[in-house]
Amino acid sequence: MDSNIKRSIIIDNYQNPTNRGLKNNKDSIKVKANNESCIDEIDLEIQITDDKLVNIHFDGEACAICTASTSIMIQKLLNKTKEEAIKIIDEFNNMINEKEYDEKLLGQATAFNEVSKQPNRIKCATLTWNSLKKVLKN
């Protein structure tokens, strides 16, 4: 992916993130994701019905990388089963850790494939993905 395209994906998702604002549904799971090395403090709200992630929302304050990455994560994981979602999260981590990854499966999330060159941004990019994975593993 061209670096201008990557940049515009990140900026678009930062300025108009998907599903910002919590719904406070009584049957959803809430989790806090904090990154002490940045300003990132995000609340995630996940609704799982019949093993599927039918709703994911977020709110809070975060940098551009963290906000954009959370927005893209939501697009990628909505309506996936727990198992499919964990697979996508693992592939995202593989990419960030410079291992082999499934480019097709990650789609727009590959806009973050150069984050590994900026070690202080890695946690910003992976924060909410890994918080969500913890929820799915429980």
- Interaction with Zn ion in 111-130: which residues (CB under 5 A)? 124
Class of residue 95 by CB neighbours under 10 A (exposed 0-12, middle 13-18, buried 19+)? buried
CA distance 17 to 11: 9
Q: How far is the CB of 65 from Zn ion (least distance, A)?
A: 6
- Tell me: does residue 63 bind Zn ion (CB under 5 A): yes
Nearer to Zn ion, 56 or 115 (CB): 115
Q: Please report where in the chains the tokens 């927005």 appear, as a residue.
A: 71
Stretch that binds Zn ion, among 13-21, 31-39, 51-59, 97-105 (CB under 5 A): 31-39
Q: How far is the CB of 26 from Zn ion (least distance, A)?
A: 31
Count other C-beta atoms under 10 Å from residue 82's C-beta: 16
Helix (H, G, I), strand (E, B) or coil at 94: helix
- Tell me: does residue 106 bind Zn ion (CB under 5 A): no
Query: Would you tell me which residues interact with Zn ion (CB under 5 A)?
Result: 38, 40, 63, 66, 124
